Amino acid sequence: MGSLGDNLSRMAGGDTNNPLLDPEEFRRQGHMVVDFIADYYKNIEKHPVMSQVEPGYLKTRLPTSAPFYPESIETILSDIENHIVPGITHWQSPNYFGYFPSSGSMAGFLGEMLATGFNVVGFNWMSSPAATELESIVMDWLGEMLKLPKSFLFSGNGGGVLQGTTCEAILCTLVAARDRALRIIGNDNIGKLVVYCSDQTHCAFKKASQIAGIHPNNFRVIPTTLSSSFSMCPKILQKTIIDDVEAKLVPIFLLATIGTTSTSAVDPLIPLCKVAKKYEMWVHVDAAYAGSICICPEFRHFINGVEGANSFSLNAHKWFFTTLDCCCLWVKDPAALTQSLSTDPEYLKNKATESKQVVDYKDWQLALSRRFRSLKLWLVLRSYGVEKLRGFLRSHVKMAKLFQEFVMGDERFEIVVPINFATVCFRIKSNIPLNTERMNGMIRPMVSINEINSKLMDSVNNSGRIYMTHSIVGGIFLLRFAVGASLTEDKHIVEAWNVIKQHADVILNNMNNHNQ
């Protein structure tokens, strides 16, 4: 603890030697931390996957103020072990199936270490040419792996940039689209701009729209249905746009998703882009989760039609083994981005920028400062290579299918929507026998099927053995089982299904006992 450490180092006359940056001490402490993390991975299954702490737990364990005297790395690591690790939900655990994976990897980690070690601030080419040039190169590499149209690559006058998250990528492209329209209709007409998405679109878009000053009344949400697997309907989109145009509003932006958060639904790019093109709208394709697997030829068809879009993004930190944060954004028209996001203060002026021979990525993103993120993506691509990367992704799909088979083999359960990638949406079936009660003259189940599934999730998660999350679509509470953690193997899927079955047994038996 801080206060104890304080006293110790005071008693010892403050002999804790923590220089700001001494190569040999850096080496010693760096090796200790590598060992700490390697041991963490080795023992990761010993921890409950979902943290079991209560709100406010850490305040009771840490001092109320920063220490006055230095503390040793040994003390700090011991505090991390004792006080931080119990408060972590272990996204790197092989038994983690929540949200979407945050797929770390050795290569991603080493790349991040190198970026942190160099600690350059690559806002423009000049400030560290390698940071900019490597980014442009790997974005072309990855774009080619995805078979993106050449118009999205630097080699075809488009280009790619690494953002922190998809939220930023969406906001940047939305602002570019907004300003493109405002240059035509005038800044006074910002209140007329309309944007479109589906009811399955990630909440990041609503937030981006809010930040960009789009009038709250002009945020259109196209409803989806189970019968079309929650994908966006181009006809309803077109009808909605026509209504807006008739009302003298100006459609500017469509967000289409490949792999929605709730059910991994896929919006049909070809017809959607066709509609958008009629109205000269910007189409952004958010493939945050599912984009990665399109490097496998048999999955590439999911982004067919991307050639009709203006921009495309995926999160390499989600399912591409590149530690948080690393969102890959490609645009066809970089000038549209830079017209909105450029700054040119005197203190950043330099001959390279003036020569127009270089990319200054500060003008492709929200912030000025930027980390050397391309290093980790480069290390992932090189350490594993295309073949092995495809293999990792396919193994996750295979494990998801294995899990799906388990679900389908148990008549108490059902798959809610067909699996597209490596996330299984399932639940306890709605037609299992349930206790009933009479209420307002109606016979209805005492516990709704949604409540039972919610109970199952809580019960499983509280056990700490595996971790899953949920969603509700079309009124259906579903359990999401997202395979993709880097340490997960077949045996973890088998065991996960056992855990789920055991907890379902208890919950369903309890209900039956009540019945008797």
Footprint of a second copy on 206-235 (CB under 8 A):
206-207, 210-217
Q: For a second copy, what does the binding mask look like between residues 244 and 263, x meaning CB under 8 A? A: -----------------xx-
Alpha-carbon span 496 to 97, nearest angstrom: 9
Query: Binding a second copy by CB under 8 A: which of 47, 97, 125, 284?
Result: 125
Site stretch for a second copy (CB under 8 A), options 65-73, 222-230, 273-281, 398-406:
65-73
Query: Binding a second copy by CB under 8 A: which of 8, 245, 296, 352?
Result: 352
Site stretch for a second copy (CB under 8 A), options 114-122, 241-249, 297-305, 417-425:
114-122
Task: With CB under 8 A as the rule, give the number of residues binding a second copy.
Answer: 159
Q: Which of residues 461-490 bind a second copy (CB under 8 A)?
A: 469-472, 480, 486-487
Query: Binding a second copy by CB under 8 A: which of 159, 164, 259, 305?
Result: 164
Q: Would you state the structure tokens that stand for residue 155, as one six-digit string?
A: 């080699």
Q: Would you state the structure tokens that stand for residue 5, as one six-digit string?
A: 């450490």
The beta strands (E) that lie in 120-222 are given as 159-163, 193-198, 219-222
Establish if 67 lies at the interface with a second copy (CB under 8 A).
yes
Question: Which of 285, 274, 385 minimizes the C-alpha distance to 330?
Answer: 285
Q: Would you state the structure tokens that stand for residue 170, as one six-digit string?
A: 């969406």
Contacts of 180-188 with C-beta under 8 Å, sequence gap 24+, read 180/252, 180/282, 180/336, 180/339, 181/250, 181/252, 185/250
Establish if 131 lies at the interface with a second copy (CB under 8 A).
yes
Query: Binding a second copy by CB under 8 A: which of 46, 246, 297, 357?
Result: 357
Establish if 433 lies at the interface with a second copy (CB under 8 A).
no
Helix-helix angle 374-408:129-145, to 10 degrees: 30
Query: Binding a second copy by CB under 8 A: which of 4, 7, 15, 58?
Result: 58
Closest approach of Cβ 200 to a second copy, in Å? 10
Q: Would you state the structure tokens that stand for residue 310, as one six-digit string?
A: 């203006």
Closest approach of Cβ 143 to a second copy, in Å? 10
Q: Would you state the structure tokens that stand for residue 428, as one six-digit string?
A: 């306890």
Establish if 506 lies at the interface with a second copy (CB under 8 A).
no
Establish if 323 lies at the interface with a second copy (CB under 8 A).
yes
Establish if 8 lies at the interface with a second copy (CB under 8 A).
no
List Cβ neighbours of 321 (8 Å cut-off, separation of 6 or more): 103, 104, 105, 107, 108, 380, 384, 389, 392, 486
Alpha-carbon span 244 to 400, nearest angstrom: 42
- Which of 110/432 has CB closer to a second copy? 110
Query: Binding a second copy by CB under 8 A: which of 48, 160, 161, 165?
Result: 165
Establish if 291 lies at the interface with a second copy (CB under 8 A).
no
> How far, CA to CA in Å, does 206 sit from each of 98, 171, 218?
23, 10, 11
Alpha-carbon span 86 to 93, nearest angstrom: 13
Establish if 386 lies at the interface with a second copy (CB under 8 A).
yes
User: Are 318 and 136 spatial neighbours (Cβ–Cβ below 8 Å)?
Assistant: no
Closest approach of Cβ 319 to a second copy, in Å? 12
Establish if 62 lies at the interface with a second copy (CB under 8 A).
yes
